[in-house]
Amino acid sequence: MDRKRTKLVAVNQRVTLMVFAEKIKLNLLYKLGHQRSSLALRFGVEMCGLWALMVSECDIKWNNHFRGKAGLCKIWEINPMTGIKRRSLIEMSWPLFRDYHPRNTEEFQDTVLHELAHVMTPGSAHGLLWRAVAIAIGSSGGRCSDLPPARKRTKRDKLLDRANSITEELRQLEKE
């Protein structure tokens, strides 16, 4: 029963962070769609419409294997020979953002915006165009996350998590 509850808490955390990531994406789409925004004035309305289309077709998912990097953007371009449309995917590090506290919230938002800037400027890596777009959409414009690399979870960590969840359950039962 405890393992199921622990897994449920982890799943709920992931869902909460994914909803947060989608909210960031929706806020950016609103900003891009609003023609009088400073972004539209700076880069042109047509470009903002194109970026909104790019961002709307971007998927966000978790990656359990990223320990040293916070996120990764993958882009597949349109191929006239095969007919494959442009598709983009942002992978976020679950080990780095596992603990949901205020510092990670800011880092998480900055990482999502950083990767969305890559979606909007394919092929420009961390160049001047990418940096201008990243800063314009609200990212810090930095290349790397400030979070330390996540270490592999040991058996002790898992036991401590389980003990904490049991303690929390006991507190809730005492309140009732």
Burial environment of residue 35 by CB neighbours within 10 A (0 to 12, 13 to 18, 19 or more): exposed
pLDDT for residue 1 = 45
Q: Give me the residue spans of the domains in the chain.
A: 2-175
> Residue 81's pLDDT is what?
67
Neighbours of 169 (CB within 10 A): 13
What's the confidence (pLDDT) of residue 144? 76
Where does the pLDDT of residue 84 fall: very low under 50, low under 70, confident under 90, or very high at 90 and above?
Answer: low
Does the predicted TM-score (pTM) go above 0.75? no
